[in-house]
Structure 1
């Protein structure tokens, strides 16, 4: 149990969120917490509360469902995110998008930098921007550094769709939404995606909607 001196507003916020069982409410675009950015996580929650919070992020991500979730998306300004992608896709999609299984990972204080100049553009969505998708050109390969939930150093290169997930979730921690990097003319409702843009790559959308893809 936390001592009175440990019960900072941040600890109280997380404990209040965890007081109810089940997935946490996901914050939608327009809430300032998604734009404020986060400072380094310096153990403010303590190991036990951090473990409970990470588990709640995992439950919430899977229930949504999504392939990543950052702490600000549940209203908590901590530099923590979780990622996971079982990648239940066809071989055609795997080859075109580089979407391969990504085991559950916890990212603490992550940052990334591109490896090489190659970029790829694909449609992305976001749990905090429900109902819409847009094409985002991102680095095809990135180097991620940071720590895991146990404080162990992370230094790993990600390619393809895992690299896209890493960039998307780390951007959340810097106060950025995927829309900030998206091609505005590509913005499509989920209904339009189902009716029109079901291809494994967005070339048809680019031609019809009038935007360019990298490369």
Structure 2
């Protein structure tokens, strides 16, 4: 089956709930056929090199109607099975501005790593039409008591669409997230730490940006080598040894 592509206009639209547009019946049927190919509720994840990962996704305006919950269910199942902590619609071949997130956090015994990364469990959530901007972290102050400005933190991350590899990316420590949820309700909040990193990574996908576009290239490595050679080594020390910048 060809990759289902959203259409900018369609004469067969009907009003669709809280969204400003309407149902694109042809796209809805394409998506339903795609979902029918899922094995045990899981779809293949598109890999780097596919053009859908490089095209900015279209805003979601209600095109899928009552098929949206079905899509979100399969996206969540696909993300968890991978396993991953986020999945954007282009990663299953659908160019709409929709992403799902969920992070169970580090297991017991990794409290130091969790604290360093400010990684707390993130419940399942859906982002529709998200955008972000870097902001100062609430309550963050310098040694002299002055408020910190916008900060970036460097940590390794991976991508389900570039399987088997990871690399260090400097991202905003805190972002202002503006989006909608799966019901069309407005979202406007400050997100900090690892959850902010996930928001940035998945929103980038919706703009045709993959993490390797932002990565410190000398930090790229296989997941096997990351675990075998660098497990437990601080990011700054890895940067010194491999010759890449760390913020």
- Shared fold, TM over 0.5: yes
RMSD: 1.4
| Cα deviation, residue 43, structure 1 | 0.3
Q: Is the 8 A contact 1:33 1:72 kept in 2?
A: yes
| Cα deviation, residue 196, structure 1 | 1.3
Aligned residues: 210
What's the TM-score once normalised by structure 2's chain length? Answer: 0.82
Q: Which of the two has higher C-alpha Rg? A: 2
Distance 1:97 1:128, change over 3 A: same
1:17 aligns with one of 34, 52, 61: 34
Look up the match of 1:50: 68
Residue aligned with 2:177, SS: strand
Distance 1:200 1:67, change over 3 A: farther
> 2: distance between equivalents of 1:174 and 1:130?
20
Residue aligned with 1:5, SS: coil
Residue aligned with 2:191, SS: strand
Structure 1 residue runs without a partner (length 5+): none
Residue aligned with 1:120, SS: strand
Deviation >3 Å, runs of 4+: 4-9
| Cα deviation, residue 121, structure 1 | 0.3
Specify which structure has the bigger relative contact order, considering alpha-carbon pairs within 8 angstroms and separated by 6 or more residues: 1
Query: Is residue 28 of structure 1 aligned with residue 44 of structure 2?
Result: no
Q: What do residues 128-160 of structure 1 show as CA deviations (whole Å, max 9, x unaligned)?
A: 000110000000000100100000000111111
Q: What do residues 7-48 of structure 1 show as CA deviations (whole Å, max 9, x unaligned)?
A: 6442233111111342011000000000001121110000x2
